[in-house]
Amino acid sequence: MQQDSGLDLLPEVRNSGRAIDVIMISSASDAATVQTSMRYGVVDYLIKPFQFPRFEEALLSWREKNS
């Protein structure tokens, strides 16, 4: 079975017709990958490894924007 990356799946998520917010978690830290993800509308981009407070911050920020 072929493994797709999150970046490969973003176009499918966006084209699904559903409003799905994505917080991308990746080990890729290069600017091109981050920019491509942002173009697909990810709400935040976390680079692994990260500390839990950073993840919690991303979730709280998302919740605040969507409440």
pLDDT for residue 6: 86
Give strand ranges (E) for the chain: 23-26, 44-47
Q: pLDDT truncated to tens, each residue of the chain (67 aa)?
A: 466 788 999 999 999 999 999 999 999 999 999 999 999 999 999 999 999 999 999 999 999 999 8
Q: Structural domain boundaries of the chain?
A: 6-66
Q: CATH number of the domain at 6-66, please?
A: 3.40.50.2300
47 and 29 Cβ atoms separated by less than 8 Å: yes
45 and 24 Cβ atoms separated by less than 8 Å: yes
46 and 24 Cβ atoms separated by less than 8 Å: yes
Radius of gyration of the chain, Cα coordinates, nearest whole angstrom: 13
Instruction: Give the closest residue to 7 by CA, choosing from 32, 33, 29.
Output: 33
